[in-house]
Amino acid sequence: MASFGNAFSSSIGKKLIMGITGLFLVLFLLVHCFINALIFMNDGGLTFNKGAEFMANNWLIRAGEIVLFVGLIAHIYQGARLTFQNQAARSIKYAVNDGNANSKWYSRSMGLLGTLLLIFLIVHLANFWVVSRFIGIPTHDANGLEDLFAVMKGTFSNVGIVILYVLAMASLCYHLLHGFASTFQTLGWNHKKYNGIISSLGIWYSIIISVVFALMPIAMYFDLIK
């Protein structure tokens, strides 16, 4: 039992946890982005509210939320530990250190990008998840469903919140650019025949997911979505 615990507390074990939780978060973002993108149906939020109602009442989704939170906490915790360990390992600075020769700047800045995303996540959960799960939404749409769309419209009428979301999505994009390919490598799912495909898929995934998420508050703030 001790050897099992030591395996996951080792450097390789920590990276494995980051890889597994990172993969789960990548899949979650895909589903979350699809549901939220229903606001672009531009039907007063009716389709989006149906999707939100499904997410809120489906037992599989609710169980997945628990796994998500556990995985998210583990991802943040292990990410912080790896960042501190890497900084400690580089405590003796070289006279010349060309970081760009070995890695992209965002690969070396995952701790900073992760911190920005954590701040965003707290604000996001307070504005939407806490309201929909615990406080309750007082208004209903034409179908009699809780009008989470109206909550989004109200939240994104605040330019400060919109700016925060856009900056957070830029951070998410850079975070994913490193994390997507790194997840496959950590889990041993990389091969020279497929690495190019994985890399391209990761780039497109990172950009599309981040841009779609960023367009939502922008479109609502400028009243492009009714």
Q: Which domains does the chain have, with CATH numbers?
A: 2-90+107-221 (1.20.1300.10)
Amino acid 94: pLDDT: 47
- The rounded Cα 2 to chain-centroid distance in angstroms is 33
57 burial (CB, 10 Å; 0-12 / 13-18 / 19+) is: exposed
Mean per-residue pLDDT, 181-201: 76
* Residue of 99 and 89 predicted with greater confidence: 89
Rounded to whole angstroms, the Cα distance separating 36 from 48 reads 7
Q: Side-chain half-sphere of 212: how many Cα atoms within 13 Å?
A: 18
Amino acid 5: pLDDT: 46
DSSP letter (8 states) at residue 95? S
71-83 per-position pLDDT tens digit: 667 767 766 666 6
Amino acid 8: pLDDT: 47
Q: Is 36 helix (H, G, I), strand (E, B) or coil?
A: helix
The average confidence (pLDDT) of the chain is 79
Mean per-residue pLDDT, 189-195: 73
Place of tokens 């960042």: 83
Amino acid 87: pLDDT: 62
Amino acid 218: pLDDT: 97
18-40 per-position pLDDT tens digit: 667 777 788 888 988 999 999 99
Mean per-residue pLDDT, 142-166: 95
Q: Is the pTM of this model over 0.85?
A: no
**pLDDT beyond 60 at 4:** no
**pLDDT beyond 70 at 2:** no
In this structure, of 2-16, 120-134, 202-216, the range with the lowest mean pLDDT score is: 2-16
Mean per-residue pLDDT, 44-63: 87
**pLDDT beyond 60 at 1:** no
Answer yes or no: are the C-beta atoms of 120 and 165 closer than 8 Å: yes
Question: Residues in the chain, how many?
Answer: 226
